[in-house]
Each structure stands twice: as structure tokens, then as C-alpha cells.
Amino acid sequence: MKAITRPDVVPFIAAWSGEQQLAREVVYSGQGGIAYADETPEDRDQYGVLWNGRSLARGAGRPEYGNVHPERQRIAMQYLLCQVCGHTADRDDRGVLWVVEDHRGEWDRWPEGLMTTHPPLCVPCARKAVEVCPHLVDSSIAIRVIGSEVCGVHGRIWSSSPFGRPVRKDVKEVVTFGSPAARWVTAGQLVRSLHGCTFVNLRYELAQHS
């Protein structure tokens, strides 16, 4: 395993210790699935999925490099912002720049159709991402993506129980919008599927940008 370089920048999507996770009582929804006992319309996205709550106080306390802030990750994925600096991700005639774990060989034509929780990147920040991101430091690949689709969420799964309230399972999964499981998840990250993918050489991309 490569040694992770001490970051000199805190990624836009990283959580901070001063951003408290909000304790919410989870109950059964009248529509089936789960809800918050004190739920407001802002607790769900446009697809009707319930989201984890965490206060917004970027820069407060210490950065939690291994934890993603749900709202900032969601914004970055929704609007194709760089996960490190929070500005618009790089795009050229080959598509938007993404760096993902290198799982070539997992299926034919990989990474076509790959569902990822990693937001895209701008070229200058791509170097930092492969040096410090725990998910990318050991093995990563840069790709250009012509099209991507918001298709689901990654989050905690809940189930019904005989005790009158939902039970949280010890598992987090990718759940697609419109599936039965989407009514039983508290989402923590937005997921996009990637299409029209081209492998690119990150060193070349960096050289062209400099």
C-alpha cells in the first residue's frame, strides 16, 4: 500500500469535526418505508429519498478526510463540481474528467455503466486526489466521460421489525431511484452512472493543462 501524503488542502466534499451529525428519530412512513418523526420537505431529494442530516460548518474544527459531507457531496455530483476545490469539473470534447478506482477486467467494456459516488475533478486537483484520497491512492485510473446520469444513492438500509419501529441494518448499499429499497434507505452520497468513457493519461492531462 502506498503511503498517503499529508493533504495540504481539504477537499470540498470532506466533513469537518464541527459539522455535527443530526440525531433524528426514524419511524415508519405512511407511504411505506421510513421517515423522520420530525421530517420536513428538505429532508428528501426530488426523487423522494430520505437523506442523512449533518450541520453545515465547513472549516469548523478538524477535517475528517475519511468522511464525506452528505450535502456537499450531493451538490458536487448534482452540478458536476470538482470534489477537491468545489469549482466546475474539467470538460473537453472527450467529456468530464473522472478518476476512479482501477477495476479494469471487472466486466466487459468497464467502466461503461459504472455507478460511482466519486464526484468528478478539475485537472489541477486530479493530482492531489490520487495522492491523498484513501480510495484512489493504491490504484486509480483517469477517464473522460461523455455522459453521466444521477441514478441512485449510497446509504444505510433499514428494515421493518416486530418492535413497532424500523431497525437499522449494519450495511450500506447503492440503491437505485424507483427501486423498493429506495423507501428504506437514509442516503449519504449521490450516485452517478458513467457512459461514453475514454481512458486518459493523467500525466498527459496535467502537462497539457500546465
The domain containing residue 198 runs over which residues?
Answer: 14-209
Predicted confidence (pLDDT) per residue in 52-98, tens digit: 988 888 999 999 988 999 999 999 999 999 999 999 999 999 999 99
The CA-based dihedral angle spanning residues 118, 126, 209, 145, taken in that order and rounded to the nearest 10 degrees: -20
Beta strands in the chain (DSSP E): 14-16, 26-28, 34-36, 50-51, 63-68, 91-92, 95-101, 115-116, 140-159, 167-176, 185-200
- Is residue 37 a part of any domain in this protein? yes
Cα 198 to chain centroid, rounded: 21
Residue 164's pLDDT band (cuts 50, 70, 90): confident
Predicted confidence (pLDDT) per residue in 126-155, tens digit: 988 877 776 776 678 999 999 999 999 999
Tally of domains in the chain: 1
Q: How long is the chain? A: 210
Cα dihedral 68, 191, 29, 56 sign: positive
- Is residue 2 a part of any domain in this protein? no
Residue 1's pLDDT band (cuts 50, 70, 90): very low
Predicted confidence (pLDDT) per residue in 4-57, tens digit: 444 578 999 999 999 998 889 999 998 889 999 999 999 999 999 999 988 888
- Is residue 93 a part of any domain in this protein? yes
- Is residue 6 a part of any domain in this protein? no
pLDDT, residue 8, reads: 72
Q: What is the mean pLDDT of the chain?
A: 91
43-45-51 Cα angle (round to 5): 45
